[in-house]
Amino acid sequence: MSSNFPLNKEQLTDLVKKFPTPFYLYDEKAIRENMQKFTKAFSIFPVFREHFAVKACPNPYLLKVLAEEGCGADCSSLPELMLSEMAGIKGKHVIFTSNETPASEYQYAFDRGNIINLDDITHIEYLKKHLGKLPDTICFRYNPGPEKQGCNSIIGKPEEAKYGLTRQQIFEAYKICKEEGVQHFGLHTMVASNELNPAFFVDTAKLLFELCTEIKEKCGVRIEFVDLGGGLGIPYKPDQKAVDYDVVAQGIRKEYDRVVVPAGLDPLEIYWECGRPITGPYGWLVTTAIHQKHIYREYIAVDSCMADLMRPGMYGSYHEVTISGKENEPKTDVYDVVGSLCENCDKFAVQRELPKIDIGDFVIIHDAGAHGRAMGFNYNGKLRCGEILIRNDGSFKEIRRRETIDDLFATLDLNGVKDFN
């Protein structure tokens, strides 16, 4: 568990009177301080910028907070591009890393001067056909295939992934774009997800830096920025250790000095597109115990469900669970903490040792600030919960209201169905 819940039982009780559970709660002050720490660690490079992965927590209020801390945005769809623009993140501070992308979405990014990160060599011709020309800046996503080992099971082996260009295609792609008059070039890869080993990221940087030198030698192209992707993990389990940003930054700097500087590529801009480590530890799903069940196991049922947080049910992911006001009480009981979805995998915790839970207790699910509300869904007609931000001054701002039945039915022609036969 990366951080402590910021409200005591009395404060949470007062908040629930205004905003009934379930809801997501985010801590603005903690997110800002974390982003400042992240930026400071990587300030040892001539130019550095984090492009927050919008998919992790697509809320314009949070994007605006991050923009004020110097963040750009990493987007993969038209709505994410639009949300970033709403938050004031514009131009080349937005990287559009998309795959199998409709022409209209490329056009939107192109018109706004965003950096387009191409996922396949055939997309060069696709851009020319639909945009009329290539942008002045092009980035390519590299898939290292078997060259990159040690990837965890979340993202899988690179050679089995649908993303990116092969090594041979990378050289050809830069040559084509140079001949087409493209002026500025970047290189990107993404080969990790929730990785806690700092050495993994240093090795990835080494791989990209060395590729930059080869591209210069073989293509006559100078790579101006390297996007290291994301994938920095967070310690979901109590016995896990957080990634030390300074260790990662210093390890990458050594490779920078060893490879980039002698190759005449300095200054090379360094980008990240992290989402999980930026907001993940500073968001919580707050829910209420509403039922108990005593059969072959002891169950506690809450007023939220997998539709609000799918990671435990879908992936078997671990999230720490605490009970407001009982944080220091002994863990005397063993529960499955479950929701109301008609799926047996709808469990936030399985056979978890917890303090005795009473009906009405507030159940806090930790480290839910990334890939939480963003991955919500409406199966079973479930209505997704809202989001609340604790401001720096301690006040509360509802930054997304909870869904209603009208929202759920908004795309249905309810008048037409009456006459349908």
Q: What confidence score (pLDDT) does residue 2 get?
A: 43
pLDDT at 418: 85
224-270 per-position pLDDT tens digit: 999 999 999 999 999 999 999 999 999 999 999 999 999 999 999 99
Q: How do residues 182-208 score in pLDDT, each as one tens digit? A: 999 999 999 989 999 999 999 999 999
* Ranges of CATH 3.20.20.10 domains, the chain: 28-279
Confidence of residue 128 (pLDDT cuts 50, 70, 90): very high
Contact 110, 129 (CB under 8 A): no
pTM of the shown model:
0.94
Structure tokens that stand for 276 in this block: 């999980």
Asked if residue 334 has pLDDT above 90, the reply is yes
State residue 146's pLDDT score. 76
Contacts of 262 by beta carbon, 8 Å cutoff, 6+ apart: none
Radius of gyration for the chain, computed over Cα atoms and rounded to the nearest angstrom: 23
DSSP bridge partners of 283: 26
Q: Which architecture does CATH list for 28-279?
A: Alpha-Beta Barrel (3.20)
d(CA 188, CA 272): 10
Write down the pLDDT at residue 148.
58
- What pLDDT band is residue 150 in, cutting at 50, 70 and 90? low
- Rounded to 5°, the CA angle 409-413-419 comes to 130
The string of DSSP letters for 318-357 reads ---EEETT-TTS---EEEEEE-SSSSTT-EEEEEEEE---
Greatest distance between any 2 Cα atoms in the chain: 75
The letter for the amino acid at 260 is V
CATH of domain 281-409: 2.40.37.10
What's the token pair of residue 194?
């929730």
Average pLDDT over residues 341-364: 98
Q: How far apart are CA 50 and CA 293, in angstroms?
A: 46
Lowest mean pLDDT among 69-73, 143-147, 315-319, 323-327: 143-147
Instruction: Please compute the mean of the pLDDT values over residues 164-179 and round it to a whole number.
Output: 97
Q: Residue 37 pLDDT more than 70?
A: yes
Average pLDDT on 407-411 reads: 96
Compute the C-alpha angle 310/316/319, nearest 5°: 75
**pLDDT the model gives residue 147:** 76
Provide the mean pLDDT of the chain. 95
Decide the pairing of beta strands 283-294 and 298-302.
Answer: antiparallel
Within 10 angstroms of residue 254's Cβ, the number of other Cβ atoms is 12
Are 238 and 244 in contact, with CB atoms under 8 Å apart? no
Q: What percent of the chain has pLDDT over 90?
A: 93
Give the mean model confidence (pLDDT) for residues 31-45. Answer: 98
Q: Which residues of the chain does CATH 2.40.37.10 include?
A: 281-409
pLDDT at 151 exceeding the cut of 60? no
For residue 180, pLDDT over 90 is answered with yes
